[in-house]
């Protein structure tokens, strides 16, 4: 009876009553919120760099952090779960690093792959299969970085854990080929074909390796023969220079480097014997014009020609810089410098190059003959002669 009485006492709500109550509750809520202390929310991402902060968050980052980058604390926590030795067995840790390395290999980040596989190997997992796989995978990463020696070492280590590892055999054979270790390459290809006689690439590499071995041996023999001939030719040239008493700035014995021209246009034309008579020396020479601050280069100047003949050939056509028409054979003097004494010497134009080089004051400069050309009795000639020069001591 009591429950029936309560039911009779219960107020019946009309739609209008409900609306009024809702409005009252809304007003009270607004009043409560307005009464709260107004304070700026400061725990979120800054407005000016929210996108940058978002990309650091492990749930939103687009790329993995690189070594040295600042790492988000949440990512550190996730990494600890994945790489914590207390949470994982050695094999699980090694496989986690292998998984990372494979990810980097897929995206052609080979240096990062090497790093990941190396971290996996540092775990010293007891599983030979896992160790072999890590070494083989690191070998692949090193191979794509063209570190063929390191790649070969890893592939061979993989084979020490797993002798019949065909991937490691193939990788080792490729590395041996790139390193021109022909005997090792042949042995590895043959071992691979013993396990898989249908390995077409191994057959092709074995054939290519055999051809390259013969070609390399042939080229080596050619190089030895050429080196012997070059040495004989140099000794013959050295004897000819000493017989002519040719003087160089330094006092050391004549070497190949000493006779190599240091002037760029002449560097491929060192002094040599004439191809026809094999007795006459052919010299590289530079003719400098102090007035214009530039030089002419004679790459093949016979020691038997006179300076007059040389000038006649050089000035068969007018010098483009000679606006006043002063540079013609009968109006020119030629000089050379003695840089040891700091002196300048006039050349007798009737003398041959061979005779000029015999003069006590003449020295070879930078593997070539160096002369200076000026108009006779000109202001340029006077300035050139009177230029103060300091002697240089050469050891």
**Strand-pair category, 343-346 with 281-289:** unpaired
On whether residue 328 sits in a domain, the answer given is yes
Let me know whether 281 and 373 are in one domain.
Answer: yes
On whether residue 57 sits in a domain, the answer given is no
Let me know whether 310 and 185 are in one domain.
Answer: no
* pLDDT at residue 1 in the model: 44
Of the candidates 191, 212, 233, which is a domain's last residue? 212
Let me know whether 92 and 206 are in one domain.
Answer: yes
Let me know whether 261 and 338 are in one domain.
Answer: yes
On whether residue 38 sits in a domain, the answer given is no
On whether residue 241 sits in a domain, the answer given is no
Let me know whether 207 and 85 are in one domain.
Answer: yes
- Report pLDDT digits (tens) over 88-114: 788 998 999 999 999 999 999 999 999
Let me know whether 264 and 201 are in one domain.
Answer: no
Q: Which residues contact 215 (CB under 8 A, 6 or more apart)?
A: none
Let me know whether 294 and 350 are in one domain.
Answer: yes
On whether residue 128 sits in a domain, the answer given is yes
Structural domain for 329, as ranges: 256-386
* pLDDT at residue 73 in the model: 64
On whether residue 67 sits in a domain, the answer given is no
What CATH number has the domain bearing residue 311? 3.10.20.90
What CATH number has the domain bearing residue 202? 1.25.40.10
Low-confidence ranges of the chain (pLDDT < 70): 1-11, 36-50, 52-68, 71-87, 250-252, 391-395
**Total of domains in the chain:** 2
Let me know whether 77 and 194 are in one domain.
Answer: yes
Let me know whether 175 and 262 are in one domain.
Answer: no
Alpha helices in the chain (DSSP H): 2-9, 15-35, 50-56, 73-83, 90-106, 110-122, 128-144, 148-161, 166-178, 182-195, 200-243, 256-259, 307-314, 353-358, 379-386
Of the candidates 212, 240, 275, which is a domain's last residue? 212
Let me know whether 190 and 86 are in one domain.
Answer: yes
Let me know whether 77 and 192 are in one domain.
Answer: yes
On whether residue 23 sits in a domain, the answer given is no
* pLDDT at residue 365 in the model: 85
* pLDDT at residue 2 in the model: 47
Of the candidates 212, 232, 267, which is a domain's last residue? 212
- Report pLDDT digits (tens) over 164-188: 999 999 999 999 999 999 999 999 9
On whether residue 21 sits in a domain, the answer given is no
Let me know whether 108 and 196 are in one domain.
Answer: yes
């Amino acid at each position: 009876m009591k429950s029936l009485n309560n039911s009779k006492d219960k107020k019946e709500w009309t739609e209008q009553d409900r609306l009024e109550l809702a409005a009252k509750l809304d007003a009270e809520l607004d009043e409560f919120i307005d009464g709260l202390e107004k304070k700026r929310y400061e725990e979120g991402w800054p407005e000016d760099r929210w996108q940058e902060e978002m990309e650091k968050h492990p749930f939103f980052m687009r790329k993995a952090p690189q070594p040295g980058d600042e790492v988000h604390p949440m990512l550190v926590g996730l990494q600890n779960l994945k790489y914590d030795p207390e949470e994982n067995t050695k094999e699980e840790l090694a496989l986690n690093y292998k998984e990372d390395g494979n990810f980097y290999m897929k995206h052609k980040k080979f240096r990062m792959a090497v790093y990941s596989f190396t971290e996996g190997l540092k775990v010293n997992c007891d599983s030979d299969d896992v160790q072999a796989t890590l070494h083989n995978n690191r070998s692949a990463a090193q191979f794509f970085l063209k570190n063929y020696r390191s790649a070969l070492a890893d592939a061979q280590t993989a084979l020490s854990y797993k002798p019949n590892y065909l991937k490691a055999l193939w990788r080792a054979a490729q590395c041996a080929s790139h390193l021109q270790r022909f005997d090792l390459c042949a042995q590895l290809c043959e071992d691979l074909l013993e396990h898989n006689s249908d390995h077409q690439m191994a057959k092709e590499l074995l054939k290519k390796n055999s051809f390259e071995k013969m070609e390399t041996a042939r080229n080596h023999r050619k190089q030895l023969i050429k080196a012997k001939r070059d040495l004989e030719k140099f000794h013959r040239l050295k004897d000819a220079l000493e017989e002519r008493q040719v003087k160089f700035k330094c006092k050391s014995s004549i070497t190949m480097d000493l006779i190599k021209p240091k002037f760029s246009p002449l560097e491929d034309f060192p002094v040599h014997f004439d191809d026809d008579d094999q007795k006459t020396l052919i010299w590289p020479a530079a003719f400098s014009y102090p007035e214009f601050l530039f030089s002419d280069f004679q790459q093949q100047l016979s020691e038997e020609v006179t300076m007059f003949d040389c000038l006649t050939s050089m000035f068969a056509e007018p010098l483009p810089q000679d606006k006043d028409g002063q540079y013609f054979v009968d109006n020119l003097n030629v000089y050379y410098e003695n840089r040891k004494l700091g002196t300048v010497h006039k050349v007798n134009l009737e003398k041959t190059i061979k005779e000029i080089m015999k003069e006590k004051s003449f020295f070879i400069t930078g593997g070539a003959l160096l002369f200076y050309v000026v108009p006779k009795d000109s202001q340029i000639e006077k300035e050139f002669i009177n230029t103060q020069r300091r002697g240089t001591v050469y050891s």
